[in-house]
Amino acid sequence: MIFEEPQVVTLKNSNFYILFKHKYNMFESSRSYYLKIDHLIIPMFKGTNSSKVLKMSYDMAKANNSEITAITIREKNDPIDISGRLGVVTTAYNEGKKAGIKVIPKIQTFDNAREGLVMETSGHYYDLLILSTRKRSMLSSSIFGNIGDYVLKNSSIPVAILSSGERGYPYSNIMLPLSESINTRAAVFFALQLAKLNRSNVTILDLRKYDKNPVHGFKALMENPGILSESKIEIRIVRSGGFTGIKEEVGNYIKSDNPDCIVVGTSRSHNIRMTSDIKFIIKEPEIDTILVKK
């Protein structure tokens, strides 16, 4: 393990910052901070949202020698011409081929699109499903829309769902709020992988003081700077300020630092019940937010 001594920096109108720059074999000391990404499945729809997650999956596949299945689901009673759906996955295949990435184009027909997508992931060997949806209103009961909400609750494999705002991809500034109520170790892995691929800065907003009954407390991460990254990702840790809750902490940081993307997480054991804090973060209208469920 080789890493530079951490630099302690105090910034105006901010809390305590620590910047780590080092080289490290990523997560070799803790398998909890890991998400297998050898075979990705990407549901394809027309529009910029699917294009954004497809570019993200290309980056992951190229760096990790992964395989991508670009799939579109057609409902049996859907009047849309099959040629349009074929065009979407064929484009994904051709783009992948030019980049030296194995992309498998696939069209499946089911009675129901959302149930069909879950059946597809259950019946084949995929490691991670990455799905993109548009932002929902703060007043809406839905978080990711009809398909996204269903997939999140019923998928048997890990899922990363992008709630796409106004930011472009790749990202330059990724925010990672750290609290067991809104994040997981697998989501930390995903965020740092994304940062490495985008060569972006990462800010870890330490909100652990709001965890009343912590299980692991992210101690392996926070007490060992070497676990944070490889390839000299710039990471700063921001201690929570004088606020009364997670929404206030996150909202204040968004205003002051203007991140491009926020990564949060949940797990199957949580029964996917979203707190008001995590709903607030995901529905932030301008910033891209990614929820990772392992």
Rounded to 5 degrees, what are φ and ψ at 144? -120, 10
The per-residue pLDDT for 271 is 54
Topology of domain 36-157, per CATH?
Rossmann fold (3.40.50)
Share of the chain above pLDDT 90, in %: 55
Decide if 149 contacts 143 (C-beta within 8 A): yes
Q: Please state, in angstroms and rounded to a whole number, the distance separating the CA atoms of residues 166 and 283.
A: 12
Distance CA 292, CA 158 (A): 7
- pLDDT at residue 4, rounded to an integer: 34
> Using one digit for the tens of pLDDT, what is the confidence trace for 65-78?
999 999 998 888 77
* pLDDT greater than 90 at residue 96: yes
Collapsing DSSP to helix, strand or coil, 249 comes out as: helix
Q: State the sign of the Cα–Cα–Cα–Cα dihedral 148, 142, 138, 248.
A: negative
Q: Where are the domains of the chain?
A: 1-35+165-294, 36-157
Query: Can you say whether the dihedral through the CA atoms of 216, 217, 223, 229 is positive or negative?
Result: positive
Q: How confident is the model at residue 57 (pLDDT cuts 50, 70, 90)?
A: very high
- Comparing 76-85, 132-141, 230-239, 282-291, the range with the smallest average pLDDT is 76-85
Same fold, 1-35+165-294 and 36-157: yes
| Range 1-35+165-294 has CATH code 3.40.50.620 | yes
Q: Give pLDDT tens digits for 237-285.
A: 998 888 889 999 999 999 999 999 999 999 865 455 577 899 899 987 7
What pLDDT does 228 receive? 58
Q: Is 22 left (phi over 0), alpha (psi -120 to 50) or beta?
A: beta
Predicted local distance difference test score (pLDDT) of residue 45: 78
H or E element at residue 266: strand 261-266
